[in-house]
Amino acid sequence: MSNFFQNILWWAGILLLQVFLIFYFKPTLVYTPYIYIFLLLRINSLQRSVLLILAFFVGLLIDSFTNSWGVHTSSLLLVVFLQPILNSLLSRQTLSENVDFSIASMGGLRYGVAIFTFFFIYHLVIEFLWNFSLQQIPMQLLKVLICTLLATFIILFIESIFTPNKQEDNG
């Protein structure tokens, strides 16, 4: 299967899963993991400006489903803007190199930490833009942590299913 069709299947699958999660969990009422940002983290072949424009439109799409008036758009733009800096901090490569965001290039632990970091920033911005209250900061941080853990688990589970295992031949 060509890389183009494989990417289209990834986008369709993750967006359908996200829409299901949004409608099943009813955002802002319980813990809703927003996993669609993973799609934009996997893209490393586009220029940064094109990726920011794509993030803007994907954020608007999710905002239209959740009726959240740009909360997802602003959160997603922040994560995509910080992506090269965080990738270079969390990987072995320098900022000038094009960091491939995958388990194979980063290693399992670094990849898991990177996914967790991106989702934590995203959910933190969303939660504070939606429901900021000084009296409820511990509860909001707990909600951010639970949503981040759920999203990280879902993405690592999906990655473990669809990433081919490299087994050594001893024969």
Q: Are 86 and 115 in contact (CB under 8 A)?
A: no
Q: Take residue 26 and report the two structure tokens written for it.
A: 């009813």
Give the burial class of 3: count Cβ atoms within 10 A of its Cβ; 0-12 exposed, 13-18 middle, 19 or more buried: exposed
pLDDT at 59 over 80: yes
Check residue 36 and give its pLDDT. 81
Instruction: Say whether 165 sits in a helix, a strand or coil.
Output: coil
CB contact set of 49 (below 8 Å; sequence gap of 6+): none
Check residue 160 and give its pLDDT. 82
Q: Take residue 148 and report the two structure tokens written for it.
A: 């981040």
- Residue 86's φ and ψ, nearest 5 degrees, are -70, -35
Q: Enumerate the domain spans of the chain.
A: 3-162
CB contact set of 143 (below 8 Å; sequence gap of 6+): 31, 123, 127
Confidence of residue 168 (pLDDT cuts 50, 70, 90): very low
Q: Is the pTM of this model over 0.85?
A: no
Q: CA 117, CA 139: separation in Å to the nearest integer?
A: 19
pLDDT at 30 over 50: yes
Length of the chain, in residues: 171
Mean pLDDT on 18-43: 72
Check residue 71 and give its pLDDT. 92
Q: How do residues 113-138 score in pLDDT, each as one tens digit?
A: 989 999 999 999 998 998 888 888 99
How distant, in Å, are the alpha carbons of 15, 17, 67, 68 from that of 87? 23, 25, 31, 28
Q: How do residues 69-104 score in pLDDT, each as one tens digit?
A: 899 999 999 999 998 888 878 776 654 556 667 777
Nearest residue to 159 (alpha-carbon basis) of 111, 113, 123, 114:
111
